[in-house]
A and B are shown apart, each in its own frame.
Chain A
Amino acid sequence: MDIDPVRLITQFSAWDWGIVAIYIASIGYIGIHVNRYIHNVADYMVGGRASRWALNTASYVGTELGLVTVMYAAMDGFSRGFAFLIMPLIGMVATFYVGQSGLVINRLREMELLTLPEFFQKRFGKEVRVTAGIIMALSGILNMGLFPKMGAVFVTYVTGLAATPNAETVVNIVMTGLIILVLVYTVMGGMVAVIITDYMQFVLLSLGLLTALGITLMADGSGWTDMVGSMVSAKGVAGFNPVHANSYGWAFVLWMVVTGMAVGFTWGTTVSRALTAESPRVAQKTYMFGAPGMFVRMAIPALIAIGAFAHFSGDPEFAAYFFPSGVSEAPAHPAQAMPLFLGKLLPVGLLGIVVAGLLAAFMSTHDSYFLCWASVISRDVISPLKGRPMSDREEILNTRIIIVLIGIFLLVWGLWYDLPESVWTYMAITGTIYVTGAASAIVGGIYWKRASSTGAMAALLGGLLSVAGLFLEPIQEVLPWLSVGVLGLSNFFFCAVLLVVFSLLFPDKDSRSTPDRTKY
C-alpha cells in the first residue's frame, strides 16, 4: 500500500542542512589536510601504528557504529522487538572477552602486520595468504554491498526528501552522491584521516544518539511504557524472548555467539584496530573499553525503532503502510520506519546534528571498509602474485585504484539489488563466508603446532559453503529443518573438522610455526 507523500515530510530544515554541510566540509578539509602526514605505506594503512588507547577505542567504536549498523539494527528492532537486543548483548560480551583474554589479537599485534592475511603467509605460506585475501575481500565487499543503499534510504527519509511521488529515484541519486563523497575522502586521506574522523564521529554520534533515545523515551506514544505495551500486544513473548520459535530461535542465537567471538579476531576492519594500536596491551584495552560501544551501536537504534513501532502502530494511515498484514506479522518497508520517525520527532538543530553524526558514521564505516578491502587486494593478492614487494608509492596507488573500483561495484550493486526484509541476516551470511573458515585457520595456526597449510586452505575453502545461506529457500524444500542458524553453526564445526583432518593427513614438510615467511 502506498502512502500520501505529504505524510513523509519531516522537520528537517535549512538549519539542519547547514549543520550537515559545515560538518561535511570540515571532514573534507581534514581528509586533505592530513594527507601531508602520510609518508609511507604504514602511515597510510595503519596510521603509523601510533594510536593510543583512548583514540583507538573511539576509532574502534566509530568504525563499528556505522549508519549501516544503525539501519540494520533499527530494521530488526522494528520487526522483532526487544528480542533483537540479544545481538548487541552478544557483541558486547564477545568483544570484552576477546579483549580481556587477548585471544588471537595479542599475537596478531605482536607480529606487526599491516593486514590480516599477512598472518596466513607467515604461518602457512603464500598460497594460503592469497586464497585468504581473495575470500576475505570478496566476502567483505559483498557484505558492504547494501551499505550505500541503506545510507541513502536513511538520508532520503529522515530529511523528508522522500515526500515526492518517486522516492526510489531520490534514493538512487542520494546513494550516488554519498559514494562519490566517500571515495574522494578515502582516496585522499588513508588511515590517519580514518582515525581522526572516527574520533569526531564518536563524539558527535554518541552524544546525538543518547539524546535522541532520551527524547524518544520522553515522547508521547513512544516512551518506555508504550514500547513495552505495543510489543506485548503485537508479538507477545516472541517480542522479548530471542530463542522463542517465532523469534530467532536457539540455532540462530548460538550461531551469533560463535560469530561474535570469531568476528573479533578475523574480520579485517575489526582486527585493523588491533593492528593500529601502539602495542599489544593497547590492542587488548581497545577491545575491552570498546565493548559497551558494541552494545550501544545496535541497542540504541533498535530501541528508537521500537519507539517508532509504538508510534506508527497507533496511527491508522501509517499502520496500514507499515503493517499491511497486521502488527503481529513481518512489517513492510522496515528500513524507512526509524529515519522517518526521527525526522518527525527530533527538533530542528538536534536533527541536523544527529544526521551529520550519522552521515559521518556512514563515511567512517565506508572509508574503513574501502581501505581495508583495497589494502587486502593490493597487498595480499596482487603483490604476492607479482612475486616481488611493491614500492610504497606503487602500493598506495594500487590501493587507491582498487578503492575506486569497489565504489563503482557498490553503485551498480546498490542500484540493482533490493533491500531484503532483514539486512542483519544478509550481512551475517555474507560475512561468515570468510569468517567461518578463517576462524579455524587463525586459531589453529596460532594455538596448534600441527596445523598445516593444506588444513588451513581446506578450512578457508570450506567457509565458502556459507554462501548457501543466500539461497536457502530452494534448499529448504529438500531439507526443511535447515535454518540459517543451523547452516551457519554447522559450517563453523565443519571448517574446524576440515582443518584438523587435512592437517593430520597432509602435514607441512618444514616447520612453519616459526615466522618469518613474509619475503617473496
Chain B
Amino acid sequence: MDLWITFWTVIILLGIGAFVVLVVIVIPLGGKDVLELLRRLGRNAKR
C-alpha cells in the first residue's frame, strides 16, 4: 500500500510540475501566435 501511495505522489508531482512549465511557456507564446495567425489569414484574404 505504501509503495502505491509513494508512486502516485511522485507521478502527480511530475505530471503537474511538467504542466506548470508548459503553462508558463505556452501562454505568452500562444498569445503571440494568435496575433500572427490572424495577420496571416488577413494577408491571404487580400491576395
Contacts and interface: CB of A to CB of B under 8 A. Distances in A.
Interface stretch (A21-29, A43-51, A150-158, A159-167): A43-51
Contacts, number: 111
B22 A55 contact: no
Interface in A46-91: 47-48, 50-58, 61, 82, 85, 88-89
B22 A237 contact: no
A82 B8 CA distance: 7
Interface in B7-46: 8, 11-12, 15-16, 18-23, 25-27, 29-34, 36-38, 40-42, 44-45
A61 B26 CA distance: 11
Nearest to A42: B44
A54 B40 contact: no
B4 A202 contact: no
A293 B22 contact: yes
B11 A43 contact: no
Given A54-B26, A289-B22, A241 B4 contact: yes
Contacts of B44: 39, 43, 48
Contacts of A296: 15-16, 19
B19 A206 contact: yes
A34 B12 CA distance: 38
Nearest to A82: B8
A50 B37 contact: yes
A207 interface: yes
A281 B41 CA distance: 21
Interface of B: 1, 4-5, 8, 11-12, 15-16, 18-23, 25-27, 29-34, 36-38, 40-42, 44-45
A199 B30 contact: yes
Given A52-B36, A58-B27, 19 more contacts: A43-B41, A47-B37, A48-B37, A51-B37, A52-B33, A52-B37, A58-B26, A61-B22, A82-B8, A85-B11, A92-B15, A195-B37, A199-B34, A206-B23, A210-B23, A240-B4, A241-B4, A292-B19, A295-B16
A202 B38 CA distance: 18
Interface residues of A, number: 48
Interface of A: 34, 37-39, 43, 47-48, 50-58, 61, 82, 85, 88-89, 92, 192, 195-196, 199, 202-203, 206-207, 210, 213, 228, 232, 236-237, 240-241, 289-293, 295-296, 299-300, 303
A43 B44 CA distance: 10
Contacts of A47: 37, 41
Contacts of A53: 33
Contacts of A34: 38
Contacts of B26: 54, 57-58, 202, 289
